Amino acid sequence: MTDAPRMPEPHGTVADAVAGNWVDRRAPAALRPYLRLSRADRPIGTWLLLLPCWWGVALAAASDAPGWWDLWVMIACGIGAFLMRGAGCTWNDITDRDFDGAVARTRSRPIPSGQVTVKRALVWMAAQALVAFAVLLTFPPLAIWLGVGSLVLVAIYPFAKRFTWWPQVFLGLAFNWGALLAWAAHDGTIGWAALVLWLSGISWTLFYDTIYAHQDKDDDALIGIKSTARLFGTHTVAWLRGFMALTVLLLTLATLMALLGADAGWMAVLIALAGIWIFAAHLGWQLAQLDIDSPDTCLRLFRSNRDAGLVVALFLAAAALV
């Protein structure tokens, strides 16, 4: 392990970045390596971190009473998701720098390609985390403590693929923590519905990140990286069908617990359930399209989960307004 720079790829672009992204086209040249380190050129991760937050605050508001404070919670979660996803990815790239250099899809990332040293990456990670913490301080005490507690999960995740075939579980624990945090930000409490919502997000993460992991399964096998993609192999579709069913079941249960328990009204319940049904149909469409031996298809389907999660968020928000 060394900080000695290596020759970057042409223009410093990252192999799996979105074509024509704003970082490569418009960001100041000096900032581009750091924004790439934060995955700002690959926004899907920010969406997948943010959406459970929006699920949490929308469902909490639907079970109680929405207010202008909830709008700030949604905005603050957006800022926090961008910053903490960036800090988390920076930490991930620091810990995985040797592995990334051995994988075709990741060797162009800023650290293994020599665009950013480890010391500078650590400073960049700390800066992002501190700004996110300043935003977090606007929330109630319980939400603040939940935000601080999430750092344990963020710190552990990069190492999970070294000791378990289920690193996607650890990713799910961390990526969906925002459902609890945003729920607590709404009124300073957490109910059983929030916990079930969190579990539904974990199951969803197992679904979409297993698809994502199939891009690297051959390289992962060579360097000894574990994943559910390698564990499930040719039985992946069957496993994903189970995760899809579990996600929809838990999401429905969380919604009914929150809305029926609060006597939110049949219209709100139907609107929320309609969003979950559309979400379920989207996951079914992904399974019908899936080819685990096509990296391009896996990446396209993985990215499509932004749209699936947005449907749930929008319908829960509509239920809250009703």
- Other beta carbons less than 10 A from residue 167's beta carbon: 22
Q: Give the tens place of pLDDT for each residue, 276-299.
A: 999 999 999 999 999 999 999 999
Domains of the chain are: 31-321 (1.10.357.140)
Q: What is the pLDDT of residue 16?
A: 67
- CA-based radius of gyration for the chain: 20
Handedness of CA 159, 306, 202, 261 (dihedral sign): positive
- pTM greater than the 0.95 cutoff: no
Q: What is the pLDDT of residue 24?
A: 83
- Distant-in-sequence, close-in-space partners of 167: CB < 8 Å, separation ≥ 6: 157, 160, 161, 226, 227, 228
Q: What is the pLDDT of residue 222?
A: 82
Q: What is the pLDDT of residue 42?
A: 87
What is the spatial distance between Cα 37 and Cα 12, in angstroms, rounded to a whole number?
11
Q: Give the tens place of pLDDT for each residue, 104-159.
A: 777 778 888 788 899 999 999 999 999 999 999 999 999 999 999 999 999 998 89
Q: What is the pLDDT of residue 97?
A: 82
Under-50 pLDDT residues of the chain: 1-10
